[in-house]
Structure 1
Amino acid sequence: MQLGTRWTSGQQPPAAVPTSLHAQIAAVDAAVPGDGLGQPRPRWTLTFLEGRPIAELDTGAIVEATANGDVIVRHDDEDEFG
């Protein structure tokens, strides 16, 4: 069993986050608009499903490794099977 972790968008991912996800996480972080009112940035949550890493941002953006090793970005309201 692997435990996940949390970190703030825009920060370096913790060591527990596989490097294969880093580029796509950085791309999603770059797309998160800044908040001129000083609100905190959203946070990422890393979990593992069947041994595959899944990083989900509080906004619903998901970066995950597929069963064949590809790294994809999707949103939690998208049908991953469609």
Structure 2
Amino acid sequence: MQLGTRWAFGAQPPASVPSTLRGRIADAEASAADGAGRHWTLTWLEGRPIAELDDGTVVRDSPAGHAAEGDAADEDW
């Protein structure tokens, strides 16, 4: 079992955040208008990491093994 974590928008992601997601998280933060008060949550689903921002932005590893970004409602990952 892998435990998730939370961290503030704009802060350095914790060491438990995989390197495959870090660049996409940075890209998502750079494209956001304002991150004040927002937080990321890292969870794991079937062994794959998922980082979700409070506004619904999701960054996760795809089944093919590369990071992808989308909305929490996207089901086709």
Q: Same fold (TM over 0.5)?
A: yes
Q: Give the aligned length.
A: 77
Shift of 1:66: 1.2
Shift of 1:76: 1.4
Equivalence for 1:20: 20
Q: The residue matched to 2:40 in structure 1 has which SS?
A: strand
For residues 41 and 20 of structure 1, what CA distance do their matches in structure 2 show?
25
Unpaired runs of at least 5, structure 1: none
Equivalence for 2:72: 76
Shift of 1:26: 0.2
The one of 52, 61, 65 equivalent to 1:56 is 52
Structure 1 letter corresponding to 2:76: F
Structure 2 letter corresponding to 1:43: H
Shift of 1:77: 2.8
Superposed CA deviations along residues 11-39 of structure 1, whole A, max 9, x for unmatched, are: 1100010011000000001122137xxxx
Q: TM-score when scaled to structure 2?
A: 0.90
Identity %: 47
Unpaired runs of at least 5, structure 2: none
Q: Find runs of 4+ consecutive structure 1 residues off by over 4 angstroms.
A: none
Q: Which has the larger radius of gyration?
A: 1
